[in-house]
Structure 1
Amino acid sequence: MNIQAILTGAYMEMCYLVWGPAKKVLVFDPGADADSIYHAVEQNGLEIEAYVLTHTHYDHINALADLHDRAPAPIVVHSKDWAWAFDDRNSNAPHYPVPRKPSTDDIQWLESSKVWNLADLHFQVLETPGHTPGGCCLHFPKGGLLICGDTLFKGSCGRTDLPGGNPRQMKDSLKLLRQLPDETRIFPGHGQDSTIAHEKANNFFMK
């Protein structure tokens, strides 16, 4: 199992490519810089199987439509976040305009199943609202890794003061992540990767 992080945009958001032996890749949170993301896909000789969104803030999905134009594939996202993803308020000019909506009806809802098999990879959906209403973390048990969006960071957690944020839900979501194996590697939407064990020991919000 392979994972590659691509730093994107003014907010230094982390887009992740995850793939296995079949060379079919899942693209997580294409926030900006579509050319850089697509170049990394081509450079690794990969075929995009799906775009998976941990949540739909502008800095996590602004490259989605451009990438989908080049390489159409299903979009996998929680319905509670897709509902407002292209709202005028989901922007921060001049760095992030309102995201352009991809021209497709091939949307698959993360909440429709707790277990997914895509691109010869197996992952589990953990619904982790708090930062956004439909925020999710994607756990790959065999690879021992967690794509956690803006729910959990190294030494911190996602903001809850933005529209749709909820401190109580965030607290419950972090409790859920505490139950994962200590050796699980976390790959957040911003900043360095870490492990569940490190965050339980050092992150105030995980205590």
Structure 2
Amino acid sequence: MNWTQLPLGPLQTNCYILSNKTKECIVFDPGADGERLVEWLKENGLKPLAILLTHAHFDHIGAVEQVRNSFDAPVYLHKEEQDWLVDPTLNGSERFQLGKISGRPADHLLTDETSLTIGDFSFQLFHTPGHSPGSVSYFFEEGNAVFAGDTLFMGSIGRTDLQGGNHEQLLNSIHEHLLTLPEEVIVLPGHGPATTIGEEMERNPFLNGF
């Protein structure tokens, strides 16, 4: 299994492509630049099996429809944000004036699942609200990596001043779900470079003394 990080759009939101030897793949958070992303997938001969969203803020969903329509790939999203794909007010695109984003609802709503298997790809699911009410982190044990969205960054944590954000809830999510993973697990955040659980336990100033 291989993962590729593709920063997309004006906010350089990380889209991740997790692929296997047979060129099947999972697309995480296709945030923008839909034509470019679809072309990249086709050039690399990849077949998306699904689109997994860590959450539905506008900068993480801008290319969802183009990828979904191009490859007939179903979209997975937590039920707490089931209306966000269709509502520019909820997903924040109306507020930030970068173009209103709306599309079809998700094909699958995540609820209390603790695991998810799509083709050869298996994930452990953590509902990690705080940055947004439906934030989900996908732990890919086989690759020793967690797709954490905007929950945890290198040296920082997600903002909590947007729709449904809660600072205390975010810290609880990080400590209860992410920091309990092995220290060598790679954290793949929604923005910026990858890090590890161990690095953030030791050096992240937002987590010290919690």
Normalising by structure 2, what TM-score?
0.92
Aligned to 2:93: 91
Aligned to 2:188: 187
What residue identity is the alignment partner of 1:184? V
CA displacement at 1:192 relative to structure 2: 0.4
Aligned to 2:102: 100
CA displacement at 1:73 relative to structure 2: 1.4
Tell me, yes or no, if the aligned pair for 1:178 and 1:206 is still in contact at 8 Å.
no
CA displacement at 1:194 relative to structure 2: 0.6
Q: How does 1:63-78 map to 2 (within 5 A)?
A: 63-78=63-78
CA displacement at 1:38 relative to structure 2: 1.2
CA distance in 2, matches of 1:128, 1:198: 19
Does residue 113 in structure 1 map to residue 142 in structure 2? no
CA displacement at 1:100 relative to structure 2: 2.7
- Structure 2 segments unaligned to the other structure (5+ residues): none
Q: Could you report, residue by residue, the CA deviation over 1:151-203 in whole angstroms, capped at 9, with x for unpaired residues?
A: 00000000011121011210111102110000000110000001001111110
CA displacement at 1:111 relative to structure 2: 2.4
Q: Could you report, residue by residue, the CA deviation over 1:17-65 in whole angstroms, capped at 9, with x for unpaired residues?
A: 0012232111100000012211221222111100100000000001111
Secondary structure, counterpart of 1:142 in structure 2:
helix
CA distance in 2, matches of 1:182, 1:11: 28
Aligned to 1:7: 7
CA displacement at 1:149 relative to structure 2: 0.4
Relative distance call for 1:15 and 1:137 in structure 2 (3 A) is: same
Tell me, yes or no, if the aligned pair for 1:115 and 1:124 is still in contact at 8 Å.
yes
Tell me, yes or no, if the aligned pair for 1:131 and 1:165 is still in contact at 8 Å.
yes
Aligned length: 205
Does residue 198 in structure 1 map to residue 193 in structure 2? no
What residue identity is the alignment partner of 1:7? P
Secondary structure, counterpart of 2:137 in structure 1:
strand
Tell me, yes or no, if the aligned pair for 1:22 and 1:120 is still in contact at 8 Å.
no
Secondary structure, counterpart of 1:182 in structure 2:
coil
**Please, which moves more after superposition, 60-69 or 106-115?**
106-115
- Between the aligned residues of both structures, percent identity stands at 36
Relative distance call for 1:106 and 1:136 in structure 2 (3 A) is: closer
CA distance in 1, matches of 2:12, 2:42: 22
**Please, which moves more after superposition, 77-86 or 1-10?**
77-86
Tell me, yes or no, if the aligned pair for 2:67 and 2:73 is still in contact at 8 Å.
no
**Please, which moves more after superposition, 34-43 or 70-79?**
34-43
Aligned to 1:154: 154
CA distance in 1, matches of 2:134, 2:146: 17
Q: Could you report, residue by residue, the CA deviation over 1:118-160 in whole angstroms, capped at 9, with x for unpaired residues?
A: 1311111111000000001100111100101000000000001
CA displacement at 1:108 relative to structure 2: 1.3
Aligned to 1:177: 178
